[in-house]
Amino acid sequence: MSAIISGSDADGIVYAQSTTSWDAVHDVATGTADDDDSFETVAIRAGCVAGGRGTTYYVSRAFINFDTSDITATPSAATLYVHGSSNSSGDVIAVSGSQGTGVGYFALGSGDFDSFENSGAGWDGDTPTATGYTTQTYTAAETTWSTSGYNSMTINSFGLADMARLDDFKICLMNYDYDWKDVTPDLGGRTGCVDHQNGMRFGDYSGSEPYIQWTGYGNTVGGIIAANIDSIKGVQTGKISEVIGT
């Protein structure tokens, strides 16, 4: 089992707010970037706060990335680990990120607020965009967010494939119930506004960085490349190109 620690140069959050409407903050293309901190008490957020002068809507999304250039075939399993901090009122989902990272890129920008697959005006996780695609999830929603330890999120088959396909595996963490689903957090009536907030630690927090733990390759059996084997019992040696690295 191997582990990959998130890079610290370009991880962080991008957040936005609006006094106009939920759509005005949910669908906006730019926000305020903050990638200088080792942790954020409000890293992932979707909510609103009602005041005497009206309602303010908030969204914050977290972005992390991993160097997966050494992964050359699809892992058989992988888990994303994110250390929580302070707040845990929301459910969190990991989706395919598209933020600028990698060689020569050392900071999140304001334009990374919507840096995830198939973002755009009116997007939500359940409904295809104009291109016919939905926002691609890498995990299910994590519904029990720990603030004192690591939260484990199982990476799905799409994420496993991208770990092998991409050299720079990018993730956007967002609120599941309101941001990903595109549901206004102003529930109206006596309930009014809800404000879901989750904190987390980033790559600059030594010893508590986000990391991915992954296991094996789907096409490897005990070090033998399965694609080159006709049978396991009575293996035909002419069909084996590699046995435990030989």
Higher-confidence position of 17 and 204:
17
- Measure Cα distances from 32 to 14, 16, 60, 61 in Å: 5, 6, 9, 11
Q: DSSP per residue over 126-170, as a string? A: TB--TTS-PPPBSSPPB-S--SSSEEEEE--HHHHHHHHH-SEEE
Kindly list the domain boundaries of the chain, sorted by start residue: 2-220
Report d(CA 157, CA 139) in Å as an integer. 9
pLDDT, tens digit, for every residue of 33-61?
A: 988 789 999 999 999 999 888 899 999 99
Q: What is the pLDDT of residue 3?
A: 78
Closest CA to 174 of 210, 206, 137, 208: 137
Whether residue 238 is predicted with pLDDT greater than 80 in this model: the reply is: no
Please state, rounded to an integer, the average pLDDT across all residues of the chain.
81
Non-local (6+) Cβ contacts of 238 within 8 A are none
pLDDT digits (tens, 9 = 90+) for 67-103: 898 999 999 999 999 999 999 999 999 998 888 754 4
Quickly count: other Cβ atoms within 10 Å of residue 188's Cβ: 8
At 129, is the pLDDT very low, low, confident or very high (cuts 50, 70, 90)? low
**This prediction's pTM:** 0.82
Instruction: Retrieve residue 49's tokens.
Output: 């706060």
Q: Which of 13-27, 145-159, 164-178, 204-218 has the lowest mean pLDDT?
A: 204-218
